[in-house]
Amino acid sequence: MPVDGITLYALVSEMQNQVIEAKIDKIYQPTFYEILFFLRRGRHEVRLLLSCHPLNFRISLLKKEVKENPAVPPPFCMLLRKLLNGGRIVKISQLSLERIVTIKIENLNEYGKIKNYYLIVELMGKHSNIILLDEEGTILDSIKKIGSDVNRVREIVPGEKYIYPPLTERVNFIEDSEENLSLLMNLKRNEIDPNFDWEKWIVENFSGFSKLAASEIIFRSKTEGKEISQTLIELKNNLINHHISPVIYYEKQSKKPLDFWIFPLSRFKSNYSEKKVETANDVIEIFYNEKEAFEKFTSVKNNLIKQLQEYLKKQSKILSQKQENLADTKNKDKYKIYGELILANSYRIKQGEREVKLLNFYDGNEMIIPLDEKLNPSQNAQKYFNLYKKLSTKEKVLMEQIEKIKQEIDYIENTIFSVENAENLLELLEIESELEKEGIIKTSQNNKEKIKPSEPMKFISSEGFTILVGKNNRQNDYITFKKANPEDIWAHVKNFPGSHVVVLTEGKNVKDSTLLEACMLAAYFSKARYGSKVAVDYTLKKFVKKPQGAKPGYVIYDNFKTLFVTPDPEKINKLFLKD
């Protein structure tokens, strides 16, 4: 859920002891939507983020590393630096329970006189904005400027008086008495039918509530057998006393950050995984950091898959063309026979003849051979020998090209598999860097920095042997040719893209149970994951070779045996070695 008024209330309460009386040291605008204040409060540095992003709008105190700032600050940032640098925050407040926060800043002007400035942070989806006012409430500047052509009633441009966004009159249940809340609910209950939409009514009549928060109130009231007014009063008391229990919810399989609130969402418990945190600030900062990271991860992943699939389609088309051209060479031996028969029977052939019928001494059948009437028998024979030689050369070149293209396709299919199964951005950037080096894709300047290598997966067999599993081509090469010794066991699924698997034997004998587990890992971390009786080849590492000039992850091997296994996720999880 986006930051709602209830969450904002808890957040502003937490910030009172962290930003009030803090001095503004530095101001940055890392993106169009974000303003970042470096504050100094005693010996402690505090970083305050204000974001009016249409989807990720929020206020929070940052703990992680900040984003890189543009070389030239935007005009709004320059004005903030001019007027607010060196000032101190004297007040931070929320308008009722609405998603509007005012930050009052006191600073000295150029004449040494104290002046007050106000930063209004409107957190309202695509209409979010950050606006700077002077003491009289006049707009000095804003991130988004709204002219009269967009809104005649409420202009957000320098020189205009600031007016709050149009807000419906709603009850602030924090300030309202418990008696009034109960009375309001009881009166409403007497007016309505049993199918009344309580969620909608709460959102429309009480400030601070999102639809999800309202549905949680109704759900709790029903499951706990309480009056809605009683649940509201409990929520009110918990907020006032700051008795909150923030939780972030994730999709179980994809681990996508889905939602959060400063109280547990009862309906989410059984369907989603969760992470509990300590404060309202933590739940906002962690959720949006993880959301942005997941969105970037998904964007890079989808972009890589799209580029690889386009490249694969191109290579497949080239392969098809080469195979068609190769088919044209299948009759080359016929021309060699023509030449041999013409030479053997040259005494019977006269120049000027257009064809000749000769006995094929290879199969005993007669065959009609076309002749060039302008050439003598010897020249006609040489013509066919030259054609045979030309087609033989063409066949050899095409076969080499086809084999190279097949290896390229195999490499791309393996890389697509690695991208699809990547678990974090680092792994994707590693693959992206590899593909750029191979000349398959072009990346932006942003990802050109040196990437720290990711680590392969580690498992422990039932006998206690370490089993390494590569997650991409670089890791596959690393565990096979850097980590593995000649007598270690190497495994790979047969005829499918998949991971290299290495059992580090340390010179000891390996029993069938470990061998079976290693082959099961090779099958599970492959395109054949959901198959049964999957063929997996295994051999000693010393029989695994990398051809000169081969693509990353490509190997050839011999002296192997094949084991048929059915991947079992439960057994795989038992073997996994957590860091």
Model confidence over 128-138: pLDDT tens digits?
999 999 999 99
- Cβ partners under 8 Å of residue 511, min gap 6: 463
Q: What is the tens place of the pLDDT at every residue in 322-375? A: 999 999 899 899 999 999 999 999 988 988 899 999 999 888 899 999 999 999
pLDDT at 545 over 70: yes
Which amino acid is present at 334?
Answer: K
Count other Cβ atoms within 10 Å, centred on residue 558.
8
pLDDT at 577 over 70: no
Q: Rounded CA gap, 302 and 305, in Å? A: 5
Give the SS3 label for residue 465: coil
Q: Rounded CA gap, 178 and 496, in Å? A: 66
pLDDT value of residue 78 = 96
pLDDT value of residue 484 = 95
Rounded to a whole number of angstroms, the distance between the first and last alpha carbons of the chain is 32
Nearest CA to 82 among 57, 105, 55, 51?
105
Q: Rounded CA gap, 259 and 290, in Å? A: 11
Give the SS3 label for residue 548: coil
Give the SS3 label for residue 58: strand
Which amino acid is present at 537?
Answer: D
Q: Is the CB of residue 214 less than 8 Å from the CB of residue 222?
A: no
Nearest CA to 81 among 45, 28, 5, 134?
28
Q: How high is the mean pLDDT of the chain?
A: 91
Q: What is the tens place of the pLDDT at every residue in 488-506? A: 999 999 999 999 999 999 9
Average pLDDT for residues 439-444, to the nearest whole number?
Answer: 80
| Rounded to 5°, angle at Cα 533 from 528 and 534 | 35
Q: What share of the chain is helix, strand, coil (3-state, %, to 5)?
A: 40, 20, 35
User: In degrees rounded to 5, what are phi and psi of residue 472?
Assistant: -155, 180
Q: What is the tens place of the pLDDT at every residue in 146-200? A: 988 888 789 999 999 999 998 888 889 898 887 877 777 776 665 666 678 888 8
pLDDT value of residue 444 = 62
Q: What is the tens place of the pLDDT at every residue in 236-278? A: 999 999 999 999 999 988 889 999 999 999 888 888 999 999 9
Q: Rounded CA gap, 432 and 440, in Å? A: 9
Buried-state track 44-79, b at ≥16 Cβ within 10 A, e below 16: eebbbbbbbbeebbbbbbbeeeeeeeeeeeeebbeb
pLDDT value of residue 448 = 54
Q: What is the tens place of the pLDDT at every residue in 459-492? A: 999 999 999 999 999 999 999 999 999 999 999 9
DSSP state at residue 435: H
DSSP state at residue 69: P
HEC readout, 125-192: HHHCEEEEECCCCEEEEECCCECCCCCCCCCECCCCECCCCCCCCCECCCCCCHHHHHHHHHHHHHHC
Give the SS3 label for residue 312: helix
* Position with higher pLDDT, 304 vs 180: 304
pLDDT value of residue 362 = 86
Average pLDDT for residues 100-123, to the nearest whole number?
Answer: 94
Average pLDDT for residues 377-387, to the nearest whole number?
Answer: 93
Least confident residue range of 75-79, 139-143, 176-180, 534-538: 176-180
Q: Is the CB of residue 308 less than 8 Å from the CB of residue 431?
A: no
Which amino acid is present at 261?
Answer: W
Average pLDDT for residues 503-511, to the nearest whole number?
Answer: 93
DSSP state at residue 156: B
pLDDT at 579 over 50: no
- Cβ partners under 8 Å of residue 15, min gap 6: 59, 61, 92, 281
CA 408 from centroid of its chain's CA atoms: 25
